Amino acid sequence: MVSQYINRKQKLFNHELTTRLNTYEVPAKLKEAMYYSLDAGGKRLRPILMMAAFEAYSNEDEKVHDPAFALEMVHTYSLIHDDLPAMDNDDYRRGKPTSHKKFDEATAILAGDALLTTAFQVINTSAFLTAEEKVFLSRELSQAAGPEGMVAGQILDLNAENRSLSLDEINQIHLLKTGKLIRFAIRSGAYLGGATPPQLELIDEYATYLGLIFQIQDDILDVIGNEQILGKPIGSDEKSKKSTYPSILGLEGAKKNKEDLMNKAIEALTQAKVDNDLLYDFVAFLGNRDR
Amino acid sequence: MVSQYINRKQKLFNHELTTRLNTYEVPAKLKEAMYYSLDAGGKRLRPILMMAAFEAYSNEDEKVHDPAFALEMVHTYSLIHDDLPAMDNDDYRRGKPTSHKKFDEATAILAGDALLTTAFQVINTSAFLTAEEKVFLSRELSQAAGPEGMVAGQILDLNAENRSLSLDEINQIHLLKTGKLIRFAIRSGAYLGGATPPQLELIDEYATYLGLIFQIQDDILDVIGNEQILGKPIGSDEKSKKSTYPSILGLEGAKKNKEDLMNKAIEALTQAKVDNDLLYDFVAFLGNRDR
């Protein structure tokens, strides 16, 4: 059921992409680079989580489309900059050349800058949001993506290369680097859908667990995943001596940690009185995914 | 009088810098890099123009401080990314090592990303702005700084290297690369101060002229400036065969063009019924500056 939902939303999202980008008057080369990375076949996990959280509290759905698109722009910018030679120096992502390989480094840096900035433009020019909603989204997105969130996680991650991390350190990095944006997705979806402040707090808790579950399973798949299904080689973390949940806790310990968090995520949802199956199903979907 | 005003505002701005940055919980190295570039002794032209435009319409002044700070963050991010090896590859700016020389490329890219994102955080967490003002500022800042504004100018400028430009092309690049953010400064200052929509339109016109005047004088100083006063070598545009106003129009033609724009800027202000001397004085101050 989750996977059908995801497929449907992915199609919708990808269908809207060209139309949306065409509303902006942007130099051809820059627009091409922005489009290239946005179109590079991501899972659209963050916007889809936002939509699912929104639908847990509301029936209409126009309100959530602009923020969801903005969020995917921020995620895409972060991938373009992370892939740069000065950062992770990756030539391929999902089998396609990364932005600086397809174009050049200057274009990749500017395409990232452009996507990040346009995310705030998309939110603040939306025809479906009130001023208060725009302020909520702009404030929380900047907090989640900026130097108190994703960018902090990225610099801590870069500085952690080639040394062993404690469990606390690795939790901290992932809570910032991927967790904050996943939390933003779910929290803003619920907020836009009309969740009450106490519900939002419990949804926050759920979202924080979900981000960690996603990351732990990522690490586990790099040890025991099927390369065919995964679409990329396994064992890369061990080869680069990267600290991961399995390297710190052992494979069984990492699985146990993940299952604990899966139970806690379900518990938080139950307390938030969410009666929408989708958000429950995402826990098992992300926790047990094989790619 | 303008220069006294500028000195006073610069001191105020630089004094606030540390206090403001300390309100954010950011990893030490990232905060250091953000602070280093923000503190690198810029003229603070953009925030000061915003304050001056604000004061042309209003007496209290708390409202304008957060947006002015956000604007300087966006300007600073653009300098950090412009200086990168993949872009202009500059080792020094105002006599100090550029961010990627002082730190490293990854830190410079992330410090730029962080400053850009924090600008929207500063606006959207301000205690002095209404929701409508935050939306106005976020929308117009993203339009001015993003792929329809400054980033567009930067990519057009990079793609223009090593070929001759027409006057239209060079106007276009500067209107986007520096003009849009200067226009944002003045337009938002006036808006926050309470300018009426027709006044805003005329202020827009003034701001657009002022941005071009600033740039033409930049080009002129690179031909006939005094290296001692300017604090940097002259003749760099000719050496790099860059198209400039003097290279297209000749030195006298460039001066004439600048003077025409100075008259038009004054005319627009008069029509906007601005009776604040400061904005008038900025025309001569920027048009006749020797550094």
Looking at residue A235, what is its pLDDT? 85
Distances, alpha carbon A129 to alpha carbons A114, A196, B97, in Å = 22, 18, 44
The arithmetic mean of pLDDT across residues A9-20, rounded, is 89
pLDDT score for A143: 98
CB contact (8 A) between residue A109 and residue B123: no
Residues of B in contact with A24 (CB under 8 A): 147-148
**DSSP structural state of residue B161:** T
> Could you tell me which residues are beta bridge partners of residue B92?
B97
Q: Which residues from A are below 8 Å from B84, CB to CB?
A: 106, 109
From B47's Cα to the closest Cα of chain A, the distance in A is: 19
Query: A160 touching B, CB under 8 A?
Result: no
Listed range (A24-33, A117-126, A180-189, B39-48) with the worst mean pLDDT: B39-48
A224 — pLDDT class (breaks 50, 70, 90) = very high
From the list B104, B125, B147, the residue facing A34 with the nearest CB is: B147
Residue among A110, A141, A148 whose CB faces B151 most closely: A110
**Region of residue A235 (phi > 0: left; psi between -120 and 50: alpha; otherwise: beta):** left
Grade residue B282 by pLDDT with cuts at 50, 70 and 90: very high
The residue-averaged pLDDT of B221-245 equals: 86
The ipTM assigned to this model is 0.96
Question: In the predicted model, is pLDDT for residue A227 greater than 90?
Answer: no
What pLDDT shows up at residue B33?
A: 98
B104–chain A nearest CA distance, Å: 8
Q: Find chain B residues with C-beta within 8 A of A118's C-beta.
A: 142, 146-147
Yes or no, beta carbons of A109 and B84 under 8 Å apart? yes
pLDDT at B272 exceeding the cut of 90: no
Proportion of chain A above pLDDT 90, given as a percent: 82
Taking alpha carbons only, the member of A104, A99, A111 closest to residue A31 is A111
Mean pLDDT for chain B?
Answer: 94
Q: Could you say which residues from 26 to 65 on chain B have a Cβ atom under 8 Å away from some Cβ of chain A?
A: 26-27, 29-31, 34
The count of other CB atoms within 10 Å of the CB of residue A269 is 23
**pLDDT band (50, 70, 90) for residue B286:** very high
Q: Of A108, A115, A112, whose CA–CA distance to A85 is shortest?
A: A108
Mutant choice from A135, A173, A180, A188 vs B, greatest count of B C-beta within 10 A: A135
User: What residue of B is the nearest CA neighbor of A110?
Assistant: B151
In order of A92, A120, B46, B274, B277, the CA distances from B182 in angstroms are 39, 19, 6, 18, 19
Give yes or no for residue A81 having a pLDDT over 90.
yes
pLDDT digits (tens, 9 = 90+) for A117-135: 999 999 999 999 999 999 9
B24 Cα to chain A: minimum distance (Å): 7
Q: Which of the listed ranges A7-16, A86-95, A177-186 does the model predict with the highest average pLDDT?
A: A177-186
Question: So what's the pLDDT on residue B74?
Answer: 98
Q: What is the mean pLDDT of residues B11-21?
A: 89
Alpha-carbon distance B222 to nearest alpha carbon in chain A (angstroms): 25
Does residue A275 have a pLDDT over 80? no
The tens digit of pLDDT for each residue in A231-253 reads 778 888 888 888 999 999 999 99
Which one has a higher pLDDT value, A229 or B149?
B149
Query: Could you tell me which chain B residue has the CA closest to the CA of A82?
Result: B106
pLDDT band at B36; cut points 50, 70, 90: very high
pLDDT of residue A261: 97
Report the pLDDT averaged over residues B2-26.
91
Q: In CATH, what number is assigned to the domain containing residue A106?
A: 1.10.600.10
Name the average pLDDT for chain A.
94
Residues 238-267 of B with CB under 8 A from A: none
**Residue B275 pLDDT more than 80?**
no
Per-residue pLDDT, averaged over B159-180, amounts to: 93
**Residue of B83, B135, B161, B172 for testing the chain A interface, max A β-carbons within 10 Å:** B135
Residues of B in contact with A131 (CB under 8 A): 131-132, 134-135
Angle at B61 between CA B59 and CA B67, to 5 degrees: 135
Instruction: Report the residue from A30, A117, A138 with minimal CB separation from B116.
Output: A117
For chain A, how many structural domains are there in total? 1
Hey, are the CB atoms on A138 and B123 less than 8 Å from each other? Answer: yes
pLDDT in tens, B193-231: 999 999 999 999 999 999 999 999 999 999 999 888 887
Would you call B154 and A110 a contact, using CB atoms and an 8 Å cutoff? yes
Q: Among B86, B121, B131, whose Cβ lies nearest the Cβ of A142?
A: B121
Q: pLDDT at position A242, please? A: 87
Assess whether pLDDT exceeds 90 at residue A155. Answer: yes
pLDDT at A274 over 80: yes
pLDDT of residue B236: 84
pLDDT value for B241 = 84
pLDDT for A273: 84
Chain A contact for B99 (CB, 8 A cutoff): no
Residues of B in contact with A116 (CB under 8 A): 113, 116-117
Within its chain, how far is the Cα of B167 from the centroid?
22
Interface contact A107-B146, CB threshold 8 A: no
Burial of B131 (0-12, 13-18, 19+ CB in 10 A): middle
Under the banding of pLDDT at 50, 70 and 90, the label for residue A40 is confident
pLDDT at A41 over 80: no
Confidence of residue A38 (pLDDT cuts 50, 70, 90): very high
Do the chains contact at B147 and A114, CB–CB below 8 Å?
yes
Tokens read off for B165:
């430009």
* Chain A residue closest in CA terms to B134: A135
Q: Which of A106, A118, A142 sits opposite B86 (nearest CB)?
A: A106
Residue A124: domain span: 2-287
pLDDT the model gives residue A105: 98
Kindly indicate the confidence band of residue B291, based on its pLDDT and cuts at 50, 70 and 90.
Answer: confident
Which of A30-34, A243-247, B32-36, B157-161 is the least confident region?
B157-161
**Option in A30, A104, A120 nearest B147 (CB):** A30
Q: Report CA-CA distances (Å) from A152 to A234, A291, B118.
A: 27, 27, 12
Task: Tell me if chain A has a CB within 8 Å of the CB of B141.
Answer: yes
In this predicted structure, what is the pLDDT of residue A228? 83
pLDDT value at A69 more than 80? yes
**Which of A69-73, A174-178, B56-60 is predicted with the least confidence, judged by mean pLDDT?**
B56-60
Q: Would residue A89 be called left, alpha or beta, if left means φ above 0 and alpha means ψ between -120 and 50 degrees?
A: left
The string of pLDDT tens digits covering residues B62-112 is 999 999 999 999 999 999 999 999 999 999 988 899 999 999 999 999 999
Looking up tokens 């489309």 gives A65
Phi-psi region of B231 (alpha: psi -120 to 50; beta: other; left: phi over 0): left
